[in-house]
């Protein structure tokens, strides 16, 4: 089985969710739970961005296998990497991995950064090299990559080439606006993989079209081996790709090794609920795999089939992901009872 590396950004991208604010205790508890199940990378926040993240990164928990990640952006224009206070805050922590985000859509380079396309390439190059000089495993997030590729294919690919040549461990293609559909993601990733077969690619999808999980799996189909997402799909606007759904799909449906043993897969529902409870949020009843209704069967044709063989109306055994089946029977008044 090929290895897929999982990157959880619940504590960073997930914190962009309306109404969600993580405490330091929340971050530590969630990090520990993510590490216990076997997540490869745990992006815990942006050092220098706020007091909570500063306090967390001042005393970072260490794990045997999982790597805690600090997040930041490429250096500012017309400033050297070594003299950029924000970049240095990100790289001054004791975590082994840094994820840097940079512009790859020419529209954003000109409109948001107000710099030349070549200057942005220099910002990517300088920042990644500087991060590596600080002994950090460095991941590069290609912000707005798919929009950038559609608008200016050559420039978006220049960003990939510069990031890779600078030494980035993973080049992550981000659908930052969440507007690309799975067939677009699949096609573009295939083209990138054909152009750069040696480049280790990642995927980061937002859920604005309701297809973040499908788009992530489409990218894996075309050769991506690093998948980013959040627990329960939390995130800005409509959220991020839901790792709680992606993980069993990769293991049980596609047969990939994601570093999570099957005896740890049974912790999936517990992990999902733990994050909801820390955030004082109601769990999604019909969430795939772990929702209370995911294996609930109401009296009638479905219940009749289930009596004969559970496979008639269940695509997996619920116990594999720590869930359980239930039967809802309506009495003569039409009232349902479990």
pLDDT at 310: 72
151: exposed, middle or buried (Cβ count in 10 Å: 0-12, 13-18, 19+)? middle
State the Cα–Cα distance between residues 164 and 193, nearest whole angstrom. Answer: 13
Which residues touch 277 (CB under 8 Å, ≥6 apart)?
none
Q: What is the DSSP string of 24-36?
A: HHHHHHHHHHHHH
pLDDT at 307: 67
State the Cα–Cα distance between residues 320 and 269, nearest whole angstrom. Answer: 10
pLDDT at 300: 60
Compute the C-alpha angle 10/94/24, nearest 5°.
40
For 136, other C-beta atoms within 10 Å of its C-beta total: 22
Query: For 33, phi and psi rounded to 5 degrees?
Result: -70, -40
For 196, other C-beta atoms within 10 Å of its C-beta total: 15
Locate the DSSP E strands across 46-200: 67-73, 97-103, 137-143, 170-175
Kindly state the helix (H) or strand (E) to which residue 119 belongs, with its residue range: helix 117-133
pLDDT at 311: 73
Residue 241 near residue 211 (C-beta atoms within 8 A) = no
Residue 274 near residue 10 (C-beta atoms within 8 A) = no
User: Tens-of-pLDDT digits for all 338 residues of the chain?
Assistant: 789 999 999 999 999 999 999 999 999 999 999 999 999 999 999 999 999 999 999 999 999 999 999 999 999 998 999 999 999 999 999 999 999 999 999 999 999 999 999 999 999 999 999 999 999 999 999 999 999 999 999 999 999 999 999 999 999 999 999 999 999 999 999 999 999 999 999 999 999 999 999 999 999 999 999 999 999 999 999 999 999 999 999 999 999 999 998 889 999 999 999 999 999 999 999 999 999 999 988 766 555 665 666 777 789 999 999 999 888 766 544 554 54
Residue 267 near residue 273 (C-beta atoms within 8 A) = no
Distinct helix (H) and strand (E) counts, the chain: 13, 11
Question: To the nearest 10°, the Cα dihedral for 268, 217, 170, 106?
Answer: -130
SS (H, E, C) 268-287: HHHHHHHHHHHCCCCCCCCC
């Amino acid at each position: 089985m090929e290895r897929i590396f999982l990157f959880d950004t619940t504590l960073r991208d997930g914190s962009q969710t309306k109404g969600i604010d993580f405490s330091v205790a929340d971050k530590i508890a969630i990090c520990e739970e993510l590490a216990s199940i076997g997540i490869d990378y745990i992006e815990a926040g942006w050092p220098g961005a706020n007091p909570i993240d500063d306090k967390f990164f001042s005393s970072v928990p260490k794990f045997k296998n999982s790597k805690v990640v600090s997040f930041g952006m490429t250096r500012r224009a017309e400033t050297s990497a070594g003299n950029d206070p924000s970049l240095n805050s990100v790289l001054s922590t004791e975590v082994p991995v840094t994820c840097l985000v940079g512009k790859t859509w020419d529209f954003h380079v000109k409109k948001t950064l107000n710099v030349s396309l070549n200057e942005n390439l220099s910002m990517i190059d300088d920042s990644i090299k500087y991060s590596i000089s600080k002994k950090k495993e460095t991941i590069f997030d290609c912000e707005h990559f798919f929009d950038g590729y559609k608008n200016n294919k050559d420039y978006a690919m220049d960003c990939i080439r510069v990031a890779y040549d600078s030494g980035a461990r993973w080049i992550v293609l981000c659908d930052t606006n969440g507007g690309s559909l799975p067939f677009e993601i699949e096609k573009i990733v295939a083209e990138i993989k054909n152009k750069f077969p040696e480049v280790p690619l990642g995927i980061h999808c937002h859920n604005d079209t309701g297809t973040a999980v499908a788009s992530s799996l489409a990218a894996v189909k075309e050769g991506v081996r690093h998948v980013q997402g959040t627990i329960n799909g939390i995130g800005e606007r409509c959220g991020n790709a839901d790792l709680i759904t992606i993980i069993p799909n990769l293991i049980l449906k596609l047969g990939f090794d994601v570093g999570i043993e099957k005896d740890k897969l049974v912790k999936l529902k517990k992990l999902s609920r733990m994050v909801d409870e820390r955030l004082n949020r109601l769990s999604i009843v019909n969430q795939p795999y772990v929702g209370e209704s995911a294996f609930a069967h109401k009296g009638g044709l479905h219940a009749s089939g289930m009596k004969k063989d559970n496979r008639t109306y269940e695509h997996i055994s619920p116990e594999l992901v720590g869930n359980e089946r239930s039967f809802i029977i309506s009495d003569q008044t039409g009232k349902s009872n479990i």
